[in-house]
Chains A and B, each alone.
Chain A
Amino acid sequence: MSDTLRLDEVVDFAENPEPRCPCVLLLDTSGSMQGAPIEALNQGLLSFKDELTKNPLASRRVEVSIVTFDSNINVVQDFVTADQFTPPILTAQGLTTMGAGIHKSLDLIQERKAQYRSNGVAYYRPWIFMITDGEPQGEPDEAVEQASRRLQGDETNKRVAFFSVGVENANMARLSQLAVRTPLKLNGLNFVEMFVWLSASMSAVSHSKVDEQVALPPIGWGSV
């Protein structure tokens, strides 16, 4: 056997698309977010991008999408991998149509999964990460209830993992009724630390193998 034989020079690899780990940021841009909160949130988004791109696998696997809700619902960013993600500068105005925002984010995830499947791309369980400083406002209760039922069904059937974070005067009791997971309360406007955590969590998910749940890093930026 030749000493100079190097297996890495003779073995070639299959070309499979990188598995994707989709994450929708569902962000409250209603009027009450004006000023310091929205600025801190924008700052947080920059950190999110920075942190994700520090991890070469996460930057190719984690796909970010941003949906904002105020009086309108806007898909500010369609799914892109972290390395292609340019954080937007968000502004705040109007009401808090959270129910419609939840619907939109669930729709996006459903569509994205269909695209993955038709392109033979493997994927991880999608995350929706909702941030709000209030509660649903500006849409009928019925609409919010319906969004909540859909969300709870999707969470129970493992179609999505939905996390909600309350900022400042957010109605935590209302948030805990909407979703399955207990909402977390952000300490002050500590968005940067929260997004560093989110990035670490997505990175953990994007190379995990799970029995039931990925062990997430401890939360230093908020409380239950």
Chain B
Amino acid sequence: MNSSIQKLHWRVVGASVCGTSHVKNSQLCQDAHHWEMLPDNILVAAAADGAGSASLGKVGAMVAVEAAIKNISIKEVNQEILASDNSARSLLSEAILAAKTAVEEEAIASNRPPKDLATTLIIVVATPTVAVVAQIGDGVAVAKDSMGNLTALTVPDSGEYINETSFLTSPTALDSVQVNVWRQGITNIALLTDGLQMLAINMSVGLPHKPFFFPLFDFVAKAQELKGAKEQLVKFLRSDKITQRTDDDLTLIIAALSDS
């Protein structure tokens, strides 16, 4: 029993692709993502969506994910820290703050107001038994437990209007952060930005759509070669089936806990 747990490890495939409306206007993809494996089977992943109305949204998104992951990875995060809800929450809150500071510093360095780098941010720290997530803005983090249930770890945050959300650079950003701790036997984690929200979540009830996530989780769990898997994911995100339904930038990170 113990030895099979020893062999468990995360397989992660992630991609950000440019929406067709941005391709048409030769804009950059405003999404960014990043992930890292820490010792002790701890996965850290982040996704961000730069605001279309922000001229440097892409820069904001990139700086935010890098800074958030770095902030967590340089700490000696272990299962013990994550065993306490309080310390787990602090870990994520500090990462949000670090990302916000990094984006604001980047704005100063580029001589621009912070809102030019407006971006959302989702960060997840996951082990086989706990997921801790922090989010500002829309997009969603989803987990699958060992019983096969899907849970949305966060709620896409939009105002009355679907295109209005909170950003890391908003003055009230830190008031709108969602931080959640979820303790279950976890088999999968997914992060996605708002471009995929309508395809992946049954919005009226706020539940993840199983026929969306299950094949993707299965795909990553069985992926032998991650470079090829990423190419397949990119191809999927660019497929007609998706671009007919959304013209937004898309980011999807899928993680599967695997014992092979």
Contact = CB atoms under 8 A, between A and B. Distances in A.
B163 A210 contact: yes
A173 interface: no
Contact of B236 (A8, A14, A207): A8
B167 A211 contact: yes
A33 B72 CA distance: 66
A14 B219 contact: no
A205 B163 contact: yes
Interface in A97-138: 120, 122-125
B143 interface: no
Given A120-B204, A207-B247, A208-B163, A13 B224 contact: no
A169 B29 CA distance: 45
Given A14-B209, A208-B52, A214-B53, A7 B233 contact: yes
Given A14-B201, A57-B247, A7 B219 contact: yes
Interface residues of B, number: 52
Given A1-B228, A11-B216, A215-B53, A210 B209 contact: no
Contacts, number: 116
A142 interface: no
Contacts of B37: none
A95 to B, nearest CB: 35
B239 A14 contact: no
A1 B224 contact: yes
B51 A1 contact: no
Interface string A62-91: 000000000000000000000000000000
A16 B223 CA distance: 30
Interface of A: 1, 5-8, 10-16, 19, 56-57, 120, 122-125, 158, 205, 207-215
25 contacts: A1-B224, A1-B225, A6-B232, A8-B235, A8-B242, A11-B211, A11-B216, A13-B212, A14-B198, A15-B202, A16-B203, A16-B204, A19-B198, A122-B158, A123-B161, A125-B164, A209-B52, A209-B163, A209-B248, A210-B52, A210-B53, A213-B53, A214-B53, A214-B163, A215-B53
Interface of B: 19, 21, 49, 51-54, 115, 118, 138, 158, 160-165, 167, 169-170, 194, 198-204, 209, 211-212, 215-216, 219, 222-225, 228-229, 232-233, 235-236, 239-242, 244-245, 247-248
